[in-house]
Every structure is written in structure tokens, then in C-alpha cells.
Amino acid sequence: MTILSFTLILLAGAFLAGLLGSLTGLGGGVVIIPLLTLGFHVDIRYAIGTALIASIATSSGSASAYVKEGITNIRLGMFLEIATTTGAVVGALIAVFIPTNVVAIIFGCVLIFSALMSFRKKSEAISDDDVSKLARDLRLNGTYPSGGEVVSYKVRHVPGGYFMMTFAGVMSGLLGIGSGALKVLAMDNIMRIPFKVSTTTSNFMIGVTAAASAVVYLQRGYVSPGLCMPVVLGVLLGAFGGSRLLVKANTKWLRIVFGVVITFLALQMIYNGLNGKL
């Protein structure tokens, strides 16, 4: 295989990843690492660097739209970014000391968790009770537009959410993913933030979190232009196409199919990690 054909196949694969990722809401980054390592036998360290750059691209691209709509809670995002960036730097630092096959196993587990999260029943448990003094002092409570009216919500369990976000940041820095599923878990289940706000705010934070560890990986030589070029362009085009299709498509079946594919890939990552092949 020549670099030209390798690049074109990778471009098509990344396009598909971006398209499915945006249609299902799981993000394209999650399949980049298995695509590169299992599909193209790329060393996992190059794959991590590439996936990290791809997640900055998709996150910044879609965040620009959400921020303008006023759904994103910028103060909440900014406050929690202290946790995610600190975690990301720690994750990128400890990555050097962890054998690559262990990284592959951890990655597989997070992938399965993300797939399970996308299947979970969504029951919203937000409230307008102002119970957290910390949330009040930090001005984290907010409002968002929904069908012509303004819905207000109050944030709870700030320390618990902060702790979970630090963990999400470590995973992001270690594995090169946005770890959106962990971020949403922290915001939905612990801090009791409405879905619309938590998904857009999580997406808003992914870019900064990934950038914090990307500077470390870039200096370490993990970020290879030959891989990033087709992957970034493909994922961006796919995500853009997906956002156009989203209105028409029936995402229920897509979500199930994508979830099954991801679980399969995750098991293969874990299997190869246990065998020491990655």
C-alpha cells in the first residue's frame, strides 16, 4: 500500500466515523483509535495523538453552533474546565509510565461504558430547588431556551461533579478521547443538569481538555501529520454531513448498530491488550 491509497482509505473511514458519531451523539473520536490500531495496525501512541486532534476539531466545530444558541452554560463549563484540564495534564503525564497494552484495555472498558451510556433510559431529574450554596456562590445555576420559553435549573453536588470531571480529564489525557460519556454522567447524574445543557456544555469543554494534553503529546512526537491530515478532514466533513442529516434520519436503529459495533471493537481492544498485541 502506498501513502496515497492509505490516506484515501483513512479519509473515508474517518468520514464514516464522523458521520456516525454525530448522528448517534457518541462523537467520532471513539472509533478513531480502534480504526487505526485494529484496522491499519498503527501503533497505539500515534493513534492516541491523532484521536486527540480529531476530538478538538469536532468539539470546536459543533460548540460554535451551540454557544450561539445560548444553551451552553459557559460559567459551569469554565469552572469544570479547571478539573478537566488538571486531570488531562495528569493523564498525559502518567501515560508514559503505563504499558501500551494496559492503555488498550482501559480504552476498551471506557468504550463499553460509553456504548452502555448511549442505551440508558433518559429520565430527567432536574429541579428548581436552590439547595447548593456553592452553586449559588459560583453562579453556576442557569437558564436555557426550550421551545420558545426559558427553563431555569439549579446545579447540585458541586464537589462530587468536580471530582468526577477530574477523573474524566485523566481518562481524556491518558486515552486521547473526549470522554464525553463521563462528562455527561457527571453533569446529568451527579449535578442534575438538564440533558440539553449537559451535552452542549460537555462538548464545549472537550476542546479545551483535549488541547491541554495535546500540547504534551505534540512535544512527545505522538502527533503525526500524515495520520492527522486525513483523520481531521474526514471526521470534520462527516460530522458536518451528520448535522445536516440529523433532522431526517431515524437515529434509533443507527444508535443500536453503532453501539454494537463499538462494543465489538472494545472487546477486540481488550483481547489484543490482554495478549500484549497492542
Footprint on this chain of other proteins (rule: CB under 8 A): 1-4, 6-7, 36, 40-43, 45-46, 53, 56-57, 59-61, 63-65, 67-68, 70, 74-75, 78-79, 81-82, 85-86, 88-89, 92-93, 96, 138-139, 207-208, 210-216, 218-230, 232-233, 236
CB atoms within 10 A of CB 178: 31
Dist. CA 138–CA 21, nearest whole Å: 33
Give dist(CA 109, CA 105) in Å, integer.
6
Is 140 in contact with 74 (CB distance < 8 Å)?
Answer: no
Distance CA 111, CA 128 (A): 33
Residue 194 CA to its chain's centroid (Å): 18
Which of residues 112 and 158 has its CB atom nearest to other proteins in the complex? Answer: 158
The label of the residue with cell 458541586 reads 158
Q: Nearest distance from residue 257's CB to other proteins, in Å? A: 28
d(CA 184, CA 170): 15
To other proteins, the closest distance from the beta carbon of 144 in angstroms equals 12
Cβ closest to other proteins, residue 97 vs residue 253? 97
In the complex with other proteins, the residue whose CB is nearer, 89 or 174, is: 89
Confirm if 129 and 199 have CB atoms less than 8 A apart.
Answer: no
Q: Which is nearer to other proteins, 67 or 254 (CB)?
A: 67
Smaller CB distance to other proteins: residue 106 or 229?
229
Of 79, 84, 76, 72, the closest CA to residue 196 belongs to 72
Q: Indicate the residue among 26 and 76 with the shorter CB distance to other proteins.
A: 76
Q: Which is nearer to other proteins, 43 or 106 (CB)?
A: 43
What is the rounded distance in angstroms from the CA atom of residue 260 to the CA atom of residue 34?
14
DSSP 25: T
Nearest distance, CB of residue 225 and other proteins, angstroms: 4
Least CB distance to other proteins at residue 82 (A): 5
What does each C-alpha distance from 114 to 106, 182, 183 come to in angstroms?
12, 8, 11
Smallest distance from other proteins to CB 277, Å: 12
Element (H, E) at 122: none
Q: Which is nearer to other proteins, 108 or 230 (CB)?
A: 230
Alpha-helix residue ranges (DSSP H) falling in 35-73: 40, 44-69
Residue 200 CB, shortest distance to other proteins, in Å, is 12
CB of 53 to other proteins, least distance (A): 6
Sign (positive or negative) of CA dihedral 158, 198, 267, 8: negative
Give the shortest CB-122-to-other proteins separation in angstroms.
27
